[in-house]
Amino acid sequence: MSVCPQKPGQQLRASEDSRALRHGMMQAMTAKSKFVDPKIQEYIIGTTVREHPVLRELREETFALENARMAIGPEQGQLMALLAHLTGARRYLEIGVFTGYSSLAMALALPEDGYILACEVSDDYTSVARRYWTKAGVAHKIDLRIAPALETLDGAISEDCAPFDMAFIDADKESVNAYYERALRLVRPGGLIMVDNVLWGGAVLDPQDEDPDTLALREVNVRAGRDERVDVALLPVCDGLLVARKR
C-alpha cells in the first residue's frame, strides 16, 4: 500500500536546532519507505527536501485524514518537480488528485502559463486541494475534472487536445493499465509518464497475492518494462515510482 505519509505517534527527536526540528517534524509526518532504510530516508529528507510552506501545511492537514497514506511524500513531490524542470514541462496531466499534494507541487514547478488537467472522482478530497491551490496562488493553472478519469481521458483523446509533457497516474489501481495506455496517447514524444505505488508495499513480489490491485500493478510494471514505446526506470521512492519516457 502507499507508504506516505506515516502513521501518527512517531516520536520527534529533541533538538535545539530549529532547522533540525523542522526536518524532524517533516520526517514524523512522512511515511517510512519500505524500500529505503529509515535513517537513510530521514537523511535524504533532512538534507535535501525544500518544501514550500503551503505544501507543508497541506501535508499536515492531509496527515490527519484516514487515508493520509494516499498522499505522496515530500521527497517524491520534489523529484517530480525536478523532472518537470528537466523536461521543461508546461502541460501536466494528473490522474488521481486526492487532497492535491502532487498537483500543488507540480503547479509550483510549472511556469506561469502552465496547465494541469486534474482527474478525480472525489469532491470532498478536492475541496481540500482547491483551498491549497488558491492559497499558493496556482489555482489558475489547474483544470479540475470531477468525473471517472477514463471519461476525461477519452474525451481529451477524441478532442485531439494538445499533448502533455508529463502525466502522473495515482488513482484506482485496477485501472492503472488503462490509464497508462491513455497517458501514452496524450503525452508528447520525449514526455514522461509516472505511475505511483508500483511496488505496492512489496506485494508485487508475492506470487500468492492475486488481489486485483496487485495484479494490475504487477502487469503495468511488466508492460512498461517490455514496452518498446518507452524508456523506463522503476525507482524505490516512497511506494515505488515508475518513470517512462515516451520515445
- The verdict on whether omega for the bond into residue 5 sits within 30 degrees of 0, i.e. cis, is yes
Query: Could you tell me the smallest distance in angstroms from the CB atom of residue 2 to Ca ion?
Result: 4
For the chain, counts of helices (H) and of strands (E): 9, 7
| Cell numbers given for 187 | 503525452
Residue nearest to Ca ion (CB): 196
Query: Could you tell me the smallest distance in angstroms from the CB atom of residue 171 to Ca ion?
Result: 9
Residue with Cβ nearer Ca ion (165 or 170): 170
Q: Which of 55, 71, 60 is nearest to 28 (CA)?
A: 60
Residue with Cβ nearer Ca ion (24 or 30): 30
| Cell numbers given for 26 | 517533516
The helix-helix angle for 74-87 and 53-63 (nearest 10°) equals 140
Query: Could you tell me the smallest distance in angstroms from the CB atom of residue 196 to Ca ion?
Result: 4
Distance (Å, whole) CA 213 – CA 19: 39
Residue with Cβ nearer Ca ion (24 or 105): 105
Residue with Cβ nearer Ca ion (90 or 216): 216
Q: What residue ranges bind Ca ion (CB under 5 A)? A: 2, 170, 196-197
Query: Could you tell me the smallest distance in angstroms from the CB atom of residue 197 to Ca ion?
Result: 5
